[in-house]
Every structure is written in C-alpha cells, then in structure tokens.
Amino acid sequence: MSETTTFAVRGMSCANCVRHVEHALRAVPGVAAVAVDLPAGTARVTHAADANIAAMLAAIDDAGYEGVVHDPAVR
C-alpha cells in the first residue's frame, strides 16, 4: 500500500533545483514517485507505507535545500 506525503521545500529557485530535489528523493528506499512544484515550493512524494520520512527530509537537506513536512493550514 502506498501513501503520499507533501514536503515544503525552501531554497529552490530554478528547474535545476527541481531536478536535484527529485533525484535526491527518488534515491530514498520506498519512494515510488516524486512531483516537485517550483512555484508552490513543494514536493509530493508517493511512497511505501513503511518508508522513512526522516530519510526523505535528510535527502532534501543533503541536496542543499530545507525540507519540512507540509501543513496546508500553515501559510
């Protein structure tokens, strides 16, 4: 069974940034699909239910960006 988690990604400014974040997240075990939205500053990740969210956040950070689990109620 898969789940979807959306991350707010700070520090992206161009299409190359999007590619870096996508590549980093796809390398995390259990990640099935990644969709990064540059204007919104988010990354939507479809992953296995037992995938490690902390590893996804670390991948974003290691790629040079700041990632947090997105809460749509917070603006």
pLDDT along the chain (75 residues), means of 10: 94 97 98 98 97 97 95 60
Decide: helix, strand or coil at residue 53. helix
Domain ranges of the chain: 2-69
Q: 37-47: per-residue pLDDT in tens?
A: 999 999 999 99
The β-bridge relationship of strands 66-69 and 31-37 is unpaired
Report the distance separating Cα 7 and Cα 15, nearest Å.
17
- The number of beta carbons lying within 10 Å of the beta carbon of residue 58 is 14
Domain 2-69, what fold? Alpha-Beta Plaits (3.30.70)
The β-bridge relationship of strands 66-69 and 2-10 is antiparallel
Please give the model's pTM, rounded to 2 decimal places. Answer: 0.91
